[in-house]
Structure 1
Amino acid sequence: MFYQFSVGQLECAVVSDGQPGPPFEPALHDYFTPDSGVPDDVLRAAAGRLTLTCGYNCLFVRTPDGMAVVDTGLGASFLGYGEYIEPLVGQLEAGMKSAGFSRSDLAAVVFTHLHQDHSRGAIWSGEARFPAAVAFAHASELAFWSGPVDAPSAQPHIEAARETIRLFGKRLRPFEHGAELLPGVTTVAAAGHTPGHSAILLESRGDRLLCVGDTFYDPLQLTNPDWATPWDLDQPASITSRRAILERAADEHLLIHAYHLPFPGLGRVERSGAAFTWHPVC
């Protein structure tokens, strides 16, 4: 699946790496748990459903310096969530072909963070899948995954993160927040989910899009911005970042790209009292 649109003069496309549907949609109680601050009875009362739709929406943008992609999905031959998942993900390269992109076209890979569902698509075969591309990740992200990692929720991601760092080698460039990586592509602070978790702002001719990575997984986190997940390594920081991102998105009327929302993950945010609401644009 792919969806093409533009941000000013920046030609963009969301390409899906997959989106498991019923009966393989993940359970809400796996994402929002008592340990992450969401008691079971609160979740049941707020949700009115048992599952969420988890997309893997990779954002391509054609810049004056070449084609870039923000995050790369789980990649092929992935069994980490169980055997059922393998045919449902790893669709990025097929989607790229349908959209008219080739692996050798890619000039840059921008990682919001290095969890396996954002980075493995670039390295799953044991080699860098985009041989002409440089890569970008926040300096704190690279330092974290290169050192000792003790957090239990981080363990499934260590192999992909370290392999990404190894395979890109000197072509993996650390950035700080507020840096312009490519013309019209700037990084925005969103730490907490991981130490270097970042949002990515596209801007051209007055149009703007904010790619929010894993700032939220489901619209429930807009109506309940203080809900964290088991994968937020610093839950208080993730909540602070989520509120800041949502406030900015609402106040500045930004188009949002949400990696895990249903394809293509594009929408806008509005304030609703102390909370927010999600309005998909397509």
Structure 2
Amino acid sequence: MADFSKFGAPRPVENGLTARSERGDIGEQWWSRRFIGVLESFALGTRLTRGRSYARKGQVISLEIAVGEVQADVQGSRVTPYRVRIGLKKFSELVWAKIEVALAEQALYSAQLLAGQFPRELEPVLAQIGAPLFPARLADLDLRCTCPDQAVPCKHIAAVFYLLAERFDEDPFLLLRWRGRSKEALLERLRALRGDVEEVPEEDRPVAAPVPTGRPVLSARLALGEPDPIAAVSGGKQAKPGPAGGDAVAFWTAGRLLPLPSHPELPPDLLLRQLPVPGAWLGGEELVRELATLYQRLAPED
């Protein structure tokens, strides 16, 4: 390890990025605390402690989060700031497609994300797909710093870790951007998969409001090469979609509904999941949740 005694104390920085937390743990939300917890589980010793001190002193000059990498400038004892890079492998488009379909199938998760919230269940959902939200080991991160310290991570990288956690506190979608998908692109895809439409004000609403009755989530699953679960319980025949529009009653009666599936690997509310979420004037998400509970109660016992 390099001898830093000759370099002295780090040079002070004017208007540096300073951690909001002045003492104790850094990170307020579950995702930022989880991120720091993962890093601390790698047993990095005093390097994290020294990095936390750097973060609180404002030694980090700049920090940028992009797809697959984080770049930062950190002021040390030398005149020229050190350049830090923290790389994390982005998910492929195929993996993101699977993630988006899995999230769109869960009405509650989709609603939370579209409302700007970050559900705790997101981590296990991604893990089940084989796309972990957080790095599982230190080797998953590509850590680089231009300082002479041969230890990885050095205190400069550690300082960026803590400020990164606070950035995630402010906007958790930056964590997904790091993995390859912007907030705007993700939410737009979820709206498309769920077939959501803009809510029509009551005074402008026609007597028979058009309601989409397609199966965008199922279509996306079929596009990914997955079998049609409806066909699996209907003798191999594809279920025909209902008409393109209709009134409030038609939302629940359009087309021929298949019997509830009894296959042990299929959820009882599978048909309900294929319908778009109705507008708030019909009950919206709350109505879907109540119907899903009813489907579970009415499902035949094994």
TM band (smaller chain): under 0.3
Which structure has greater strand proportion? Answer: 1
The TM-score, its normalising length taken from structure 2, stands at 0.22
Which structure has greater helix proportion? Answer: 2
Structure label with greater radius of gyration: 2
